Structure formats: structure tokens, C-alpha cells
Amino acid sequence: MRAVFVSVALLLLAVSPAVSQTSPFDMSPEKPAVPAPVQPTGVAPAQNDSAPIAAAAPQPAASLARRYIVPFTELVLSGEYSQRSWSLFLTPEQAAAKAELHLGYQNAVVIAPEASRLKISINGSELVDAPIASSENASDISVNIPANLLHAGMNDIAISALQRHRTDCTIESTYELWTQIDTAKTFLSFDGPDAGRWKRVDDLRAIGVDENGATTFNLIVPSMGQTISTSPAVRLGEALALMASMPNQSFDVSETGSSAAKPGMATIVLGPASELSNVLATVPPAAETGPVATLIDDPRLGPSILVVSGPTWQAVDMAIDDIAKQVDRPAGSLRTSLSTRTWRMPDVPLLSSASRLKFSELGMNTLEFSGRRVRTDFAVGVPSDFYANAYGEATILLDAAYSQDVLPGSHIDVYVNDNIAATVPITTSGGEILRHLPIKVTMRHFRPGDNVIALEAVLMTRADAICAPGATAQGGQRFVIFDSSELAVPDFARVARTPDLAGISGTGFPYNRSEYTLPLIMDRTQPESVSAGVTLLARMSVAAGRLIAVDSLTAATAVADRNALFISAISQVPPTVLAQVGVSNGASSTWGETVASIHPNTEATFDRWRERLRDSGWRGQIGSLQDWLTRTFNISMNSFRIFPGPAAEFTPQGSASLVVAQEASPVGSGTWTLVTAPTVGALRDGVRSLTEQGTWRQMEGHITTVDASDDKVATVPVTRFNFVETQPFSIWNYRLIVANWLSANALSYAVVLTLLSILLGFATAGLLGALGRRR
């Protein structure tokens, strides 16, 4: 089968008859080329499988006018219909320049080209609508972008794939359909004199991504060794991170640094004017007199270097403040959305109490579908003090319809963060219009921050059962979800917990709201550790949506009972801090040397054997009863625990290269978080892995470890925690908090219920003794 390219006509604001979905639908990624019928359950989207910091080959100067557009390490469009949308910031010069869109992709061999189409639209205008026919080798498409389509600022990009199997009509076959976008060959190229340069500080928003979806800030601080430089560096890093708001941002902090100008990378020089001469060929003269933040072309470092300077450190701070105040959010202001536009359209609404949102408000438009399995999703955010995992139930009021072809036995599934949360079986034949059908969605899998809720319809028809030749491509519309559907979230309990790393991941809690500057204890002398610190705090600021003021001068011993963040190689971490956050003291000597697990992990081996022997004999039946209980009621031994035992000390094992551990401060009112690795190099790489969007959102529990080599995340759940009040006292909130706690501790509820019932029985006896006749 030869792939046939259909070049796309340039149609200004064209309305092609083939356009059926031009609206942004964000399809959750699935692993491509999985032939087996894999149920997409708890597996997190694997979009960060390869290390983003691949060797960056020196780029020719002209490539500066190139903007890679895929903000992910990997982009795979899988299933019969898949869609992603995000925004791209363009400078006025880029918007004005003549531009060309390049698209490179490869697809699964089973995709039928005549029935499958790949589409890209920018700002609502469809630029690519091509058959998917590139199974043998990657294909490149390039399209001229009509003038005036791009504009300065945010430009919306939507990419979608409609894919059909060549021969198979089964549900399973839809899992074999994938199209992988080649991120290195998918970019905008600009033909304009200044399109590759930044002129204003604000132009840094257009930093974009490199070919791996990563964004790197080269922060050159000549006086890095001085203690006074650390806080400004962190603050500038936070401000820049908030400005760009890209999903995978990292900072390389160095004293001298050399610029390798390329897309997705910016170079910033920070320091008083007197110290900049070491790195810059010419120091901007204004820096000698007052605060300055400006972009210059430097012969030594290259074009578009951001210089933040002034005569003194105070002036430098003022220059940073000028940048920061554009992006900072006042402490008291209510946050209503999480800024995710650069990688997910639209910005995710943040729910802080009961709310009802129409799908249209969540960026999901009416979707008609003619295939077998369709998945579409939207995202909502919850705050870090969200505490309804155990009892909470949201409701989707679904407006949908299915045709008479759809057979009973089809179903609509709801996934929250890729965990199944509800199933609605279709039980009637002959088609039906569902009007605001309530679907209860457990909030068990909600995490602080953004949460992806996916709806997947699995449709079975008689035609598919027969599967006549060509049937895969044919057929009228079978299913539609209307954007008038609603998500209703009830009031949920709000109280924060310590430790809870998910809070940091979600909204930077508790460091996002502290009234004092956050003590940041790190090794300032090592550029790697400073890079790690700036990268981490920048990520936390993006999560928090505001700058987090840090105080890098506090000594570990002087933290007392405040919040604190410790970022060091493990050998530098004070033993008291290790003990407090529950990391084994011995770890400092052994970790990193004992590479991989020398001792076989008995528990894991046992589990594997038990798994293998599960289905045999009557014991297997008991096993499946257990499974059923777990599935249906989520009952585990934890439910029968009344008082949690003390958490075992954690010793980093195996290939974990970074450990993030959180625990309450010694007296309990502050929250200490330790980020540590065997070496400073591992610390920098580990934090870079951790702060990537995909990894970052997996951080949770008491301890999270990251394996930098493959971005594998492991967590140690919280066994014991303190509540941290975040809301003014209200009976209603307390009731919900109690409900959640008791739901998580089922036996406690039973015990309390028993005791209260006994009390009621005795009270009733007393009452009956006092009232009525006694004789």
C-alpha cells in the first residue's frame, strides 16, 4: 500500500465539507500499537517516556526562526478519534512574518488511509486535512500559513486524527490505531527579519519548546557564590516561569555559561552591572545608573539575551520586581483557573466549592461519532485542601444520544485521571436521547490541581459484528455527546493535610500561601543544586499561580517551626531533617553506591507469585471474591485500621535518583519538604525530571521518588497526617471533613456508630423510664 499525499489547498477561512470537528477536543493519549485489548485503567498517560534533555545538536542560526509547536515530549494520537489543542505565544514580529507549518508524523500500519484523516487548525482555520497514510516512513507536510491568520500573543492550535482500521471492526482493534507526531519535524518556520529575535521582555513568553517539548532557561549569575544572589535568582526564575507557563520548564544556573541559542531556550544574565562584564561583551550602559531589564544581542553570548541588572543588588531586585509584578497574583485573590493554555486548551477552571459547569465552558464541544470507541475529555481543577477522596461524588449530567444501530451492551465509561470512575451501560435498543442523565463519578481519583475527566463510549452494532469488507469506514453517525452536558461538583470538604506532596504538585501548597518568606535551605555553592532549587521553585510557582518568596539565608537549625524547603545532595542534609521527614539516616552513606537492587525484593517477588497462582483452584475463587470486593467497595485492610501505625523509615532503593519527602515540622505547625539525591548532578537531573508536566502530576503521598533515567515515579502513601485548617470554621465543612475521614477509616465509622447507638439505647431506656406508665 503506497501512501498518497494529498496536498492541502490553501483556503482562507475555508469551510471544507469534510470538517466535522473543528472544535478543541483533547483526547487522552494512549500507548500506540497495543494489539491486545488493554483496558485503559490506572496507567498514567505515558507522554514522557524519553528523556527530554537529549543532546541538543548545534543549530544553524537560521533555525531561530523556527518554533516547535508540540509542547509534549511525545504526541501520539490513538484510537478512532483523538484531538489535542493548546496555545502558542507569538511575538508581533513572528505574527507578521510569512510563516509555514511543517508536520511530520508516522502511523500504525493498520490504519486505512482512505477513511482516516489528520487535521491541524490554527486559530480555527484548518490548515491540514490529509489522509493518514504514513505507515512505512515518516512523512512531512508543509503548508503556507495564510497572512493575517497568526496574531501576536496566544494562537490556538488544534490537532486531531480520525482513524479507522483497515479490516477489523472490533473494539479491541481500535487500540491498535495510532499516529505519532514527530515533534522534531512539526514546527512553524518564519521568514522575517526579526522573527527569530526578542525585542521586549514580554517576548520571552514566546520562548516555546525545543524538539522534545522542553523549555530551558539559561540563567547566568556571575556572582552565584555570594549568598545575596540566591534569592533574586529564584525570584527571577519564578517570574520567568510564570511568564512562559510552559509544561516542561527547567533552569540551568551557572556563573559563566555559554549560549547555545536554539528554539525553546532563553539566556538570561542576572547581577549588578559591575559583575556582568565577565560574561557580557558589552554591559548595557543603563545598568550602571538604575534597574534595568532589557534584551540585548551580545557578541559573546548571542542574540536576544535578557539582562536583568542595576548598579546594586537592590536595583537588581527592583528590576526583577518589574518583571514579577506582571505575572504575580495578590495573596488574597481568589484563583478561578489554572493556567494550562500552553499545553491544554482552555485554562482549567479551579473549583473551590459546589459548582455546575457546562461542557461547553470546559472546552468540550458537541461531538458526533460514527466509529466504535470514542474518547473525549476535559479537565477541572480542585484546590490542595480538597478532602473528598473517600466519600465524594461528582455528577455528570449527560446529554447524549445513540442511534438505533447501537446495541444494548454498549457502554459509556467515565475515567478520572485514567482511573475508571463510572460506567453507564446502554440497556435499551432502538436508540435513545439521554437528557441530563445523571452519572455519579467518584471523586476518589481527584488530586489537587488539574484533573482530566474522560468520557469513553464503547459502541457495538450488528454491522460491526458482521464486519463486511469496508465496514470499518462506513456507517452513519452512531453517537453524539452534546456540549449542553454538565459537570456538577457538590460542596466538598476542604482541609489540607501534612504531609501531602500532591498539594505541592497541585497548587504549590502549603508554600503558596505562607505569610512569611519561605526558608530555602540548599547548597548555594554548587550550580547544580542552585539549578535544581530554581527549577523546583519555578515549577511550584507555576502550580501556585504566583511567586513564592524565599529566604535563602536561614540555616537549617534556625528554621524552628516554620515551613521549609530543603534541597541538597543527601550527604549535605542534616540528620535531624532526615529523621523528621522519615528518610533513613543510613541512606546518606549507602544510597547511590548500591546501584540497583542487590537484594531481591521479597515482597515484590511474593506478589508476583501470588498473582501467577491466583486463578487456580478454589483458592482462586476466593481470590476473585477479594478482587470483586476490592473492585466494588474499594475495601482493603486499610479500611479496618483504627489507629495507623508509625510509618516505617524510608530507605531509597534501586534506581530511584531523587527523593521528595514531606513531613510536618517538629512541633507540627509547619511543613518541611526535603528534595534530595545522591549527588548534586543527580539532584539537578532528578528535579528536571520531576518538574516535567507528566511526572510532576504524579507526585503525591508522603514520599515520592523519581527515577531520572526513565521518569518512573514511585510513591509512599501517607499513613499518618495532621490536618491544616485552610478555611474559616464552618459546621458544614467540618461535617464533610468528618465524613471523608470516616469514609477512609471504615471501621472507625462502625465503632463510632456502635458506640452512639449504645448511647442512644441507654438514653432511650432513661427516657422510657421517665415517660409514660411504669407499672
**What is the distance between the alpha carbons of residues 70 and 673, in angstroms, rounded to a whole number?**
33
Question: Based on CB atoms, which residue is closest to another protein, 445 or 697?
Answer: 445
Tell me if 2 contacts another protein by CB under 8 A. no
By beta-carbon proximity to another protein, the closer residue of 147 and 765 is 765
Single out the residue of 5, 606, 640, 723 in contact with another protein (rule: CB under 8 A): 640
- Which of 171, 437, 553, 714 touches another protein by CB under 8 A? 437
Q: Which is closer to another protein, CB of 468 or CB of 635? A: 635
Length of the chain: 775
DSSP 8-state secondary structure symbol assigned to residue 202? G
State which of residues 227, 278, 557, 764 lies at the interface with another protein (CB under 8 A): 764
221 vs 390, beta carbon nearer another protein: 390
> Which residue in 82, 127, 342 sits closest to 213, CA to CA?
342
Residue whose CB is less far from another protein, 595 or 763: 763
- Does 356 interact with another protein (rule: CB under 8 A)? no
Q: Which is nearer to another protein, 109 or 768 (CB)?
A: 768
Report, in Å, the least distance between residue 290 CB and another protein.
59
Of the pair 596, 771, the CB lying nearest another protein is at 771
757 lines the binding site for another protein (CB under 8 A): yes
Instruction: Report the residue number, 68 or 386, with the smaller CB distance to another protein.
Output: 386
C-alpha to C-alpha distance for 345 and 77, rounded to whole angstroms: 16
Q: How far is the CB of 489 from another protein (least distance, A)?
A: 13
Structure letter (DSSP) for residue 94: H
Distance CA 574, CA 87 (A): 44
The full DSSP string for 43-62 is PPP----S-S----PPPPGG
Cell of 368: 458526533
Per CB under 8 A, 642 contacts another protein? no
Q: Is 616 in the site for another protein (CB under 8 A)?
A: no
Smallest CA-to-CA distance from 308 within 339, 272, 280 is with 272
Q: Per CB under 8 A, does 763 bind another protein?
A: yes
Work out how close the CB of 357 gets to another protein at its nearest, in angstroms, rounded to a whole number: 18
Q: How far apart are CA 110 and CA 89, in angstroms?
A: 36
Longest CA span, the chain? 107
746 binds another protein (CB under 8 A): yes
Size of site (CB under 8 A) for another protein? 56
Closest CB to another protein among residues 595, 751 = 751
CA distances from 173 to 167, 371, 472, 683 (A): 9, 11, 10, 43
DSSP string, 607-662: HHHHHHHTTSHHHHHHHHHHHHHHHHH---GGGG-SSPPPPPPB---TT--EEEEE
73: closest CA among 714, 542, 711, 713?
711
- By CB atoms closer than 10 A (0-12, 13-18, 19+), residue 683 is buried
Q: d(Cα 143, Cα 528) in Å, to the nearest integer?
A: 42
Residue of the chain from 5, 609, 633, 723 that contacts another protein (CB under 8 A): 633
Decide: is 14 part of the binding site for another protein (CB under 8 A).
Answer: no
Among 124, 193, 290, 425, binds another protein (CB under 8 A): 425
Select from 314, 239, 220 the least CA-distant residue to 550.
Answer: 239
Other CB atoms closer than 10 Å to residue 386's CB: what's the count?
Answer: 27
User: Which of 1, 147, 648, 765 contacts another protein by CB under 8 A?
Assistant: 765
Q: Are 272 and 250 in contact (CB under 8 A)?
A: no
Distance CA 681, CA 702 (A): 24
Q: Which region among 307-315, 332-340, 681-689, 756-764 touches another protein (by CB under 8 A)?
A: 756-764
Contacting residue, 428, 474, 557, 594, with another protein by CB under 8 A: 428
Which of residues 135 and 634 has its CB atom nearest to another protein in the complex? 634
Q: Does 465 bind another protein (CB under 8 A)?
A: no
User: In sequence order, which residues have a C-beta less than 8 Å from that of residue 83 and are 6 or more positions away?
Assistant: 21, 24, 25, 26, 27, 77, 158, 159, 160, 161, 376
Residue from 58, 632, 643, 667 in contact with another protein (CB under 8 A)? 632
The nearest distance, CB 388 to another protein, in angstroms, is 9
The answer to the question of residue 11 lying near another protein (CB under 8 A) is no
Q: Which stretch binds another protein (CB under 8 A): 20-28, 64-72, 428-436, 497-505?
A: 428-436
The site map against another protein for 702-741 (x = CB under 8 A) is ---------------------------------xx-xx--
Q: Which is nearest to 674 in space by CA: 698, 697, 652, 641?
A: 652
Task: Note the residues at the interface with another protein (CB under 8 A).
Answer: 390-393, 408-409, 411, 425, 427-428, 435-438, 440, 632-635, 639-640, 735-736, 738-739, 742-747, 749-754, 756-773, 775
